[in-house]
Structure formats: structure tokens, C-alpha cells
Structure 1
């Protein structure tokens, strides 16, 4: 998959979450497909992200959701803001055992101080694996 088109000013953010050495998204194998505040899409392999029973680890699904929601909030807020997650929840609907899962994040609320995204994670057959909601606080750093 090629790199998605980035809005101006976000090259550093994309590099930090996608190519940064030691970053969780890199360790999980997350690859971005769409990179926009209104819709973010990324995929992640099941292999390497399993729990001991051989199923996709629920924490990996949540990490995918938090990555997408946090980046969406950053895209909404602008490159001069800091984003911190303040709430995340997830419902795991079914197991994924192989292939790749896809997370699609869409905004539920885009405000001046908070942004909330719903992230739906599906398997390669389009079946819902996980539904997550993440709320991020938008902070203006002091100069």
C-alpha cells in the first residue's frame, strides 16, 4: 500500500506514527490507507498481534482504534495543537484469526476542545470484529 496523501503541515505527524522507530503503530504493523479528519482508514495484520489462544488480541484492536482516533483529532485540530486521549472503550464482536483487519474512523464530534471518533474494525470478509469510541482532548501548547 502506498502512503496516503497528507494535508499540509502533517508530514511530521505521519512520520512519527508510521515510520518512527519504536512506535507502537509500527510494532503492530499498522498501515494507513486514508488520512483525513473526516475518515481515516488503516490496516493491521493479525499475525504478530495474537493473544495466547491464537486470536487477534483485543488490546491490538484498541491500539489500532486509538491510533486512528488520535490522528483524526490531530488532523481536525491542526498541526499546532497537542492531542491526548481521555477516554476509550471497545466492544469485541468476533474473533479474527488470520489475514488483516481494517479500522475505519469517523468523527462523532469535532469541537474546539475535544474530538470523538467511532472506529469500526472489520476482518477481510467485512465482518465487524470490534467497535471502539475514543475521545481526545485538544490542547494549545504554551509558547
Structure 2
């Protein structure tokens, strides 16, 4: 079955209810054959004590969009996805507006997937660069 952009976005956002993604207001906003984009508002909910975006919130955004991307490209009736490693380099701070996370595949294997996730602000300034490794494991029936 071919997934439409609208279907993928709607499904991704629907499963965020009562999760960390809902708490942080993470929203999937774009999808293509080799990428997924989500955004998160930068406000006091995601600040560190000195009033800038917390690196942990940035990593939560990155892992969310990367895991969603891996999830879209597997047979979810037979497999589930888990993140097994994430790295982050925070390059610039931000105090307000939105941050956008674009996940693209470096490697899309049957068992492991490696994603590059760039976090940018509204002016497309690079805020953080993350790498996420996910694993697809068989569901026990």
C-alpha cells in the first residue's frame, strides 16, 4: 500500500496522544520517500534554567522524528522499532520560535537503521546535529 503524505502525517500525530511528544508539542509536519520532518515550539516548557532550549528537549525531538521515520519504513504488523543509540552536537542556542527536525536515512537495513537528524530554527540556522540508530525487532505473536 502506498502511503500518502497526509496519511503518514495524520497517523504519526495521532499516536502522540498522552506521550512525551504531546507534552513537548512535537508535531510531524512533512514527509517524503526518504525523510520526515517534525517541529517543536521553543518556550518555557522546553527551557533549561537560563531560558534557552534544553539539549534534552532537542534530543527528544530528534529521537521522536527519527523513530517515526524508521517506523514508517518497516512492516509494523511483524516488527517494532526501538532507538538504540543517539548522539547530539548542539551548535547554537535558541530562546523562542520553532525548531524543526529533519530525519534522513544514512542506512536503511532490515535490522538496523541509521538516521541523520538536523535541527534548525525558522531561519534555517543549524541548531543541533544528531545521529540515531534504530533497530527493528520481530513482534512475538
Normalising by structure 1, we get a TM-score of 0.87
Over the aligned positions, Cα root-mean-square deviation in angstroms equals 1.6
Aligned residue-pair number: 134
Tell me the equivalent position of 2:54. 57
Moved over 4 A (4+): none
Deviation at 1:78, TM superposition (A): 2.3
In structure 1, the gaps of 5 or more residues are none
The answer to whether the Cα contact below 8 Å between 2:13 and 2:28 also exists between their aligned partners in 1 is no
| CA distance, structure 2, for counterparts of residue 37 and residue 15 of structure 1 | 20
Deviation at 1:89, TM superposition (A): 0.4
Which aligned pairs between 1:14-93 and structure 2 lie closer than 5 A? Answer: 14-17=13-16, 20-21=17-18, 23-36=19-32, 38-47=34-43, 48-80=45-77, 81-93=79-91
Deviation at 1:37, TM superposition (A): 5.6
Match of 1:115 among 113, 116, 140: 113
Deviation at 1:14, TM superposition (A): 4.2
| CA distance, structure 2, for counterparts of residue 70 and residue 37 of structure 1 | 15
Q: Which has the higher strand share?
A: 2
In structure 2, the gaps of 5 or more residues are none
The alignment partner of 2:123 has SS state of coil
Tell me the equivalent position of 1:98. 96
Tell me the equivalent position of 1:6. 7
| CA distance, structure 1, for counterparts of residue 53 and residue 68 of structure 2 | 23
The answer to whether the Cα contact below 8 Å between 1:92 and 1:129 also exists between their aligned partners in 2 is yes
| CA distance, structure 1, for counterparts of residue 32 and residue 80 of structure 2 | 17
Normalising by structure 2, we get a TM-score of 0.89
